[in-house]
Structure 1
């Protein structure tokens, strides 16, 4: 059924996360005795290799980690500093350590067994790690992670030793690991707010590859000067006079294309939703109105907005009209089109946008049908929110994240009030006090309850204020449940 014509044209006045990893092997290593270390060998990420070109009486030299990418196994690298440290440890600490603790002056057989165990463990260990790159079929190692593991394991072996003063300060891997490092990184939520608040309502961008009309070009035809002049005039109006609830992006290399997002007005079933439209100025613009396409996500949430993306509006000449309802080449503007969609299409009771239905506006049947339509419309609006969050249009990714971080709590409050029989479409700012509503259908509540959970998850990820609902969910397992009033009993 075709929609009714629009009869009014109304202008609105209006990160990285830092984390620490605790090595469980450090704790267990600290409590191990020297006598049982050979029987229950703990895996080590650092391989101890015998230095062939330096005679140390069969002593093992602890080397710095490097990676042999040919064999994909860690190998030792001995430095002069380490040789000096080995001499210090051998002379000062051998009296208070067993051979199994320092692995120095060990018999040849024990030394070979140690090397064998270390190499076996290295092979087994990297089979279980997540260093595999599926793209090239080779292992890629996180050298920082491996170096830290090696240092922690080696340091743990000296936990019960009374080391001479100054030794820990000169041996890096004997120093206590610092798991929490100060970070100057700005929290993700603050970063989202900062970017969102810096966004311009009207701006020019470059890539139009995901625009609906990107493939429709007028190649080979030089646009007339009047065409360019009219579009530049529209750009100027949009830059200066856009209402606060509409954002527009124009394309530098494609003046014929435009993209806009309209925020659903308060007091309607579209409140706080985001509705995206693509426009194209035809070659004979302004003598013909712009072409329009609505990003529906396959949902028809308004008689004037089709699931296929068609926008039915008299001002766009996609519906019949007369006089000022029709496009006027000398007076009509792109700004007028956007404001008309917001005011005339996304209205309080879109049910009556359907041609002929306005005749039932004053009847009980018409009002009941309008409320039912609002229920379905709000469900579709919630689905559109999820669609926008998961697949935001190009150049609107930051806007979508910032908008729902800012308005997420209000949307969830409205959802919970609707589940408690508030009338769908009432003013969202007053919805918490609208509990004495006419009641919503059980089917609507069942669907909204599931959508509420999905929105709660998405809004939480974006950093919206969801503590109230998460706390309620933790208590009763249902974030949509309203706190029950407490009654006191008085004995008479």
Structure 2
């Protein structure tokens, strides 16, 4: 085997949660002395400092970035599984902004966390656009996987869109609807395990553009998830309940008295 296609599901607690990210790996004649050549199906989007819009995966393990010691490919121990786990755990993480070389020094800087939150906003929107790309043009032989994944996770993704549009921090864990209702109905409940909303510090500054753009993505995803058979009843019902604007009837002007 000299070609491999793999898919990674975006980890929970990150701006990539529930997304599908496809990678093609080519094992050249020099493998395993040299690492495989890995291509990312970007759809023309750069949603992470390590994943380029041209498909390049920037990772020291692949030799596309400089590294030290065990960070580099080792022909005796390194594997393709290690590459995929590194992408899932180290690349698709909760604060991808700091993956950019040199930006790690901003972690304790006053502006670093703000820029990281802004990056997460964009990363989530690009993740949603990647979902649409995969739904409309699923990679060959992964058609059933794509349809099944979004049929199962469609409701959660739409719920996340709404949760983030309400001003909560992108990447924060979205409360489970069932548990939320259970906690609300529990008399005098003080469940310490309940997920508390984590409001975005920059929500006031990003609401207009972020909310508008995410709303468009929400509507597009709703249509695609409906086609795939996802549970969208709640969102369709909410949409139908929105009050329709009443057209004002203009009174005809009375004819002037003769």
- Same fold? TM cut 0.5: yes
1:459 aligns with 2:225: yes
CA distance in 1, matches of 2:169, 2:43: 26
Give distance in 1, aligned partners of 2:110 and 2:157. Answer: 29
Counterpart for residue 254 of structure 2:
none
Residue in structure 1 matching 2:33, options 287, 294, 298: 287
Correspondence for 2:3 among 230, 233, 257: 257
SS in 2 for 1:298: coil
1:203-218 correspondence to structure 2 within 5 Å: none
Residues 358-405 of structure 1, C-alpha deviation per residue, up to 9 Å, x if partnerless?
001112200000000000000100000000000000110000000000
Q: Which among 314, 331, 334 is matched to residue 80 of structure 2?
A: 334
Aligned to 1:358: 104
Aligned position for 1:103:
none
Listed as ranges, the gaps of 5+ residues in structure 1 are 1-254, 479-492
Find the counterpart in structure 2 of residue 71 from structure 1: none
Larger Rg: 1
Aligned length: 224
1:414 to 155, 160, 163: 160
Shift, 1:437, TM fit: 3.9
Give the gaps of 5 or more residues in structure 2.
181-195, 245-258
Instruction: Please give the root-mean-square deviation of Cα atoms over the aligned residues, in Å.
Output: 1.5
Deviations 1:230-282 (A, max 9, x none): xxxxxxxxxxxxxxxxxxxxxxxxx1000000000000000000000000001
CA contact (8 A) 1:417 1:435 kept: no
Alignment of 1:444 onto 2:210: yes
Match of 1:471 among 231, 237, 241: 237
Partner of 1:313: 59
Q: Confirm or deny: 8 A CA contact 1:280 1:292 kept in the other structure.
A: yes
Aligned to 1:167: none
The change in CA–CA distance for 1:357 and 1:477 in structure 2 (over 3 A counts) is farther
CA distance in 1, matches of 2:56, 2:200: 34
Q: 1:434: Cα distance to partner?
A: 1.6
Secondary structure of the residue that 1:337 maps to in structure 2? helix
Matched with 1:349 is 95
In structure 1, C-alpha distance between the alignment counterparts of 2:216 and 2:145, rounded to whole Å: 25
SS at match of 1:382: helix
Pick 1 or 2: higher relative contact order, CA cutoff 8 A, min separation 6.
Answer: 2
- Judging changes above 3 Å, is the alpha-carbon distance between structure 1 residues 415 and 477 closer, same or farther for their aligned structure 2 residues? farther
Say whether the 8 Å CA contact 2:5–2:25 is kept in structure 1. Answer: yes
SS of the residue 2:144 aligns to: helix
Equivalent residue, structure 2, for 1:434 = 197
* In the alignment, structure 1 residue 396 sits paired with structure 2 residue 162: no
User: 1:288·1:327 contact (CA, 8 Å) conserved in 2?
Assistant: yes
Answer yes or no: is the 8 Å Cα contact 1:271–1:428 preserved in 2: no
Task: Summarize the Cα distance change of 1:468–1:396 in structure 2 as closer, same or farther, 3 Å threshold.
Answer: same
SS of the counterpart of 2:148? Answer: helix
Equivalent-residue separation in structure 2 for 1:477 and 1:469 (angstroms): 15
Post-superposition CA distance 1:382-433 (Å, at most 9, x none): 0000000000001100000000000000001110011110100101345975
Give, in angstroms, the shift of residue 477 of structure 1. 6.0
- Tell me how far 1:436 sits from its aligned partner: 4.1
